[in-house]
Structure 1
Amino acid sequence: MQDQVDDEPMSREWNYHPDLPLSDPSVFKLPIDPMFLSRWFLRNWLMLSERVMMVGLAVLLWVFAYPSLDQATHFAVGWIAQVWLVNMAVMIAVAGGLHWYFYLRRGQGRKLKFDRRDMAKGNRLWSFADQVHDNMFWSLTSGVAQLTAFQVFTMWLMANGYIPTISVAEHPIWFFLGLLLLPIWSAFHFYWVHRLLHVPFLYKHVHSLHHRNVNVGPWSGFSMHPVEHFLYLTSLMIHWIVPTHPIHLYFHVIYLGPGAAMTHTGYEDLLIRDKRRLALGTFYHQLHHRYYECNYGNQEMPWDRWFGTFHDGSDEATLETRQRKKSMYQKKAG
């Protein structure tokens, strides 16, 4: 990993990028490397990381903020509104906090920022002619509403015993394995839903709303067309099949909603005293927002490499991606 933390752009295309070509950090890469897996586990679960913070927040919300499952046996305005208010507050706190720090306060200037541009203003491409206001609108309306709807329905299923649940005391190993596996499941689900959204018809009428964000910021992560929100959030349906605990559900909700703000920050890491303290956005996904028909998944799952849609940041990969996009739309026209 490069340690460059100055304000000088690294290339004509990017203000900053990691070492290129991108390496393979997937936990599924072969041959299996026990040392690599140990470092991955240490970095993601035994140090301060996005995931550790999300699990901690899920526990706090379970204890102090979300209604208990005892209240969820019947649909009622009170507890449903409580879930919606908590989700709204968390989304505003996470996305709004990151936007304030990186783009209003400019807490680390352009250090580790991928794209040299600021958020767009005065462009009619965006609702309200403002990229941030447009992104906030879609995130806080359709986004929070549908996130809450999936969560409320799943809580109701859990409360009434319609789906299997577990307790930490009776299933401690599965409880902790569930936390490890949920991000991997989400990455698997995201890849295939994302490929579907890039079918030309769905891209034009649905996914293009999200892709207006070529230069991403925290509010762009959960800014989607309502149809895309629905498809994306079907990841939560895993709780209808696999036995889980409410903490798993709340972690998953945070991972998909506010977590998207973290991965779309537009910066690779949070710097404190010029040292990397928290991983945020990835250049892997930034390449997808720049070149579209590549890197549909994330780095944890090997699908892009296996199916020939991986962009490693090189000029050769950019040329291949542009050819793939041209071919896709030529087939449509034919």
Structure 2
Amino acid sequence: MIQISGPATFWLTALLFFVAIFGRYVLFSLTFWWLFNVSWKEQFAQRTVQTRPRKPDQDWREIGWSALTSIIFTAIAMGMILAYQAGHTAVYTHLHDYPLLWYPVSILLVLFIHETYYYWLHRWMHRPGVYKWVHKTHHDSITTSPWTAFSFHPIESTLQAIIIPALTFVIPLHISAVGLILMIMTLSSAVNHLNTEIYPRNFNNHWFGRWLIGATHHSLHHTQFRFNYGLYFTFWDKWMKTESPDFHRLFGEKTKKRNSSEE
């Protein structure tokens, strides 16, 4: 963990964190954009979830909001570093401070808590008195793309960003586990907003795949609003009966094999 010893170190560290956070977003988004709009365009042409054209300059608006989101994420990350240096967090750096089994368990536990927090936060953000002030910015992207992944109003960015740092105060996490969780979050968000279904046919009924959110699942949220509130997983939507009734049909349509030679 970086040690901050003065203002110069603080601002240099903050700059490095911003470059890492925003750069990670750009790297994932640009990679997925290139793969599915240039390299694999023909292979996945029939897997586009929505056909409504994106608004003019929508990519740049989303990148602008995402840059602001990255600044907020950086500020909260800096607060976490200062708290760690003061001995207030449960983050550890020596792998054998806890049993090795705890490493994957801690990651799964944080992902479950994060999913639970986000599902109920997301439903709250759709309340009429809250939506226009907090969540509408993200839903301006009715037809999503990888650039949509971090496109949030600052209030929503803050509400989304605080949960994982808060958990580091109560759940022992190896520093690399924190980094891995953040990578999973970024990758998942890019995949979910891709607007192209990358999962294989019948994956929505697979024992593992049925619990994962992908582009078809999340795109339905952007068009139907009152369904599919999850972040990584579908279990809260299934338990609370908020999964779109159109999901399995649409997933099948977007992943069906295109000709008999592929059977």
Is the Cα contact below 8 Å between 1:151 and 1:253 reproduced in 2?
A: no
- Report the Cα distance in structure 1 between the residues aligned to 2:4 and 2:191, rounded to whole angstroms: 30
Q: Structure 1 residues 227, 257: CA separation in 2 closer, same or farther (over 3 Å shift)?
A: farther
The within-5 A match list for 1:86-101 is 86-101=20-35
- Report the Cα distance in structure 1 between the residues aligned to 2:182 and 2:113, rounded to whole angstroms: 13
- Indicate the residue corresponding to 1:296 in structure 2: 229
- Report the Cα distance in structure 1 between the residues aligned to 2:97 and 2:244, rounded to whole angstroms: 44
- Report the Cα distance in structure 2 between the residues aligned to 1:225 and 1:257, rounded to whole angstroms: 17
Task: Report how far residue 119 of structure 1 moved.
Answer: 2.9
- After superposition, the CA RMSD in angstroms is 2.6
Choose the corresponding residue for 2:193, options 260, 264, 287. Answer: 264
Is the Cα contact below 8 Å between 1:188 and 1:301 reproduced in 2?
A: no
Choose the corresponding residue for 1:211, options 139, 144, 147. Answer: 139
- Indicate the residue corresponding to 2:256 in structure 1: none
Task: Report how far residue 132 of structure 1 moved.
Answer: 0.8
Task: Report how far residue 195 of structure 1 moved.
Answer: 1.0
TM-score normalized with structure 1 length: 0.63
Task: Report how far residue 301 of structure 1 moved.
Answer: 4.8
Choose the corresponding residue for 1:133, options 57, 60, 66. Answer: 60
The within-5 A match list for 1:102-141 is 102-104=36-38, 107=41, 108-121=43-56, 130-140=57-67
The answer on 1:183 being equivalent to 2:111 is yes
Whichever residue aligns with residue 190 of structure 1, its letter is Y
The answer on 1:169 being equivalent to 2:110 is no
Measured against aligned partners, the alpha-carbon deviations of 1:151-197 in whole angstroms (never above 9, x if no partner) come to: 22212222331112233122122112112233222211110110111
Q: Structure 1 residues 262, 211: CA separation in 2 closer, same or farther (over 3 Å shift)?
A: same
Q: How many pairs were matched up?
A: 232
Is the Cα contact below 8 Å between 2:49 and 2:215 reproduced in 1?
A: no
SS of corresponding position for 1:162: coil
Is the Cα contact below 8 Å between 1:288 and 1:294 reproduced in 2?
A: yes
Whichever residue aligns with residue 254 of structure 1, its letter is M
Task: Report how far residue 244 of structure 1 moved.
Answer: 1.1
Is the Cα contact below 8 Å between 1:269 and 1:280 reproduced in 2?
A: no
Task: Report how far residue 224 of structure 1 moved.
Answer: 0.8
SS of corresponding position for 1:176: helix
Choose the corresponding residue for 1:155, options 81, 94, 106. Answer: 81
Task: Report how far residue 210 of structure 1 moved.
Answer: 0.7
Q: Percent identity?
A: 23
Richer in helix (by share): 2
- Report the Cα distance in structure 2 between the residues aligned to 1:254 and 1:72, rounded to whole angstroms: 24
- Report the Cα distance in structure 2 between the residues aligned to 1:223 and 1:298, rounded to whole angstroms: 15
- Indicate the residue corresponding to 1:49 in structure 2: none
- Indicate the residue corresponding to 1:21 in structure 2: none
TM-score normalized with structure 2 length: 0.78
Query: Which consecutive unaligned segments of at least 5 residues does structure 2 have?
Result: 201-211, 249-263
SS of corresponding position for 1:240: coil
SS of corresponding position for 1:285: helix
Measured against aligned partners, the alpha-carbon deviations of 1:19-52 in whole angstroms (never above 9, x if no partner) come to: xxxxxxxxxxxxxxxxxxxxxxxxxxxxxxxxxx
Measured against aligned partners, the alpha-carbon deviations of 1:294-322 in whole angstroms (never above 9, x if no partner) come to: 1112573532233332213179xxxxxxx
Query: Which consecutive unaligned segments of at least 5 residues does structure 1 have?
Result: 1-67, 122-129, 272-278, 316-334
Whichever residue aligns with residue 171 of structure 2, its letter is V
Task: Report how far residue 256 of structure 1 moved.
Answer: 3.4
